[in-house]
Amino acid sequence: MNESTEAKQKIMLVDDNITNLTVGKHALSESYDVFTIPSGQKLLKVLEKTLPDLILLDIDMPDMNGYDIIKIIKKDENMAKIPVIFLTAQSDATSELEGLSLGAIDYIVKPFSPPLLLKRLETHLLIEHQKTQLKNFNDNLQSMVEAKTRTVYELQNAILETMAELVECRDDITGGHIERTKNHLSIMVNEMIKHEKYKIEMDKWGDIELVVQSAQLHDVGKISISDAVLNKPGKLTDEEFVEMKKHTSFGVEIIQKIEQKSSEKEFLHHAKIFAGTHHEKWNGFGYPYGLKETGIPLQGRAMAIADVYDALVSERPYKKGFPHEKAVDIIVEGRGTQFDPDLVDLFLEIHEKFHEVDLEYKEELKRHSEALENYVKPTGLPDWLLPFQGQQEGA
């Protein structure tokens, strides 16, 4: 006797012969919750309300035969998963093959032996249970892999962002240039993608968010520029300017070194384009390659506007930041010489959003300065150091 308090599995036994239904129910009802159903049409009605764990289906029935019914069941999204075993007096190989090819999992010839029927059912239900467990396990594994990938992606971004900020700290006393140009570029690309002429090119880029993230490394080559040049408060001499311009090629070299050590390709490919082409000019007088017009990758042409806008509105040791309107005028003056004329037109449609990013940053800077003025030296140790203190005492 089954003492289990768990709900029994549901079996639907479908046969037009009342004797078969009675014998089948008798054989199975101790172990299963058995529904006896006298026709295919009634089965379909019952299935609208409840789904069993398995169906035992007679083939030869007067209204709809077993083949017609299994076709309907296998086409239905909810019912298709229910395992079906055919019960039939036909024992020839052709009928058996037809039943199995329609999606039945087994074929039991009548008259059946009740203990054998029970055994076959147990085996099939166990297999189905294990299939479900395997699927759940695979689904869980998939989500675990996705979560891990996301964590690695976030860590990669955090490290690259910090690396870019560290490089920037050397020549930008107010900081935030990397973050702001990333935001300006994001505004540009989100507008560009609305235009068919850019969309075709941008569709080849892959993940746009990744492209914007990679722009953070555009000035990474400044790590190789001497402090004397990088932090010079006044205008650079011709020689110093030649030295300064090398940050583009140095940036490309640094990213290529990372490329050699990594199997990641997409992010670094775009990072290299940004580093190597953000100082190219539409008229061919930019550096380091002297590329011209659409020979400059679209990423570099867009970044040129984002980068120059931020340089113009930001304060430097040797200059005050220009007002937004003045920065817009200077960019318009460079239309068709320094900058891609169509991208300047596009910039003019969205320049207010650039202004918002700048104002927001300046507000934050003000809050930060106030916080520094009111800085109070912390008393006691930070929380993350507390667990080590017990160890020290016990040592």
Active-site positions read 222
Q: Which is nearer to Fe ion, 53 or 219 (CB)?
A: 219
DSSP letters of 175-232?
--HHHHHHHHHHHHHHHHTTSHHHHHHHGGG--HHHHHHHGGGTTGGGGGS-HHHHT-
CB of 167 to Fe ion, least distance (A): 10
Residues 49/78, Cβ–Cβ less than 8 Å: no
The residue at minimum Cβ distance from Fe ion is 219
CB of 281 to Fe ion, least distance (A): 13
CB of 380 to Fe ion, least distance (A): 43
Q: Which is nearer to Fe ion, 70 or 178 (CB)?
A: 178
Interaction with Fe ion in 10-29: which residues (CB under 5 A)? none
Q: Which is nearer to Fe ion, 20 or 181 (CB)?
A: 181
For residues 61 and 14, give the distance between their C-alpha atoms in angstroms, rounded to a whole number. 9
For residue 33, give the H/E element and its range. strand 33-37
Q: Does 172 bind Fe ion (CB under 5 A)?
A: no
For residues 211 and 268, give the distance between their C-alpha atoms in angstroms, rounded to a whole number. 9
248, 252, 230, 239: which is closest to 307 by C-alpha?
A: 248
Residue 96 neighbours by CB under 8 Å, 6+ apart:
90, 107
CB of 180 to Fe ion, least distance (A): 14
CB of 314 to Fe ion, least distance (A): 13
For residues 116 and 108, give the distance between their C-alpha atoms in angstroms, rounded to a whole number. 10
Query: How buried is 12 (Cβ within 10 angstroms: 0-12 exposed, 13-18 middle, 19+ buried)?
Result: buried
Q: Which is nearer to Fe ion, 172 or 219 (CB)?
A: 219
Q: Which is nearer to Fe ion, 219 or 280 (CB)?
A: 219
For residues 46 and 37, give the distance between their C-alpha atoms in angstroms, rounded to a whole number. 9
For residues 129 and 117, give the distance between their C-alpha atoms in angstroms, rounded to a whole number. 18
Binding mask 190-229 for Fe ion (x = CB under 5 A): -----------------------------x----------
Which two tokens mark 341?
């004329």
Q: Which is nearer to Fe ion, 13 or 230 (CB)?
A: 230
Binding mask 137-156 for Fe ion (x = CB under 5 A): --------------------
CB of 171 to Fe ion, least distance (A): 10
3-state helix, strand, coil in the chain (%, to 5): 65, 5, 30
Q: Please give the residue ranges that form the binding site for Fe ion (CB under 5 A).
A: 219
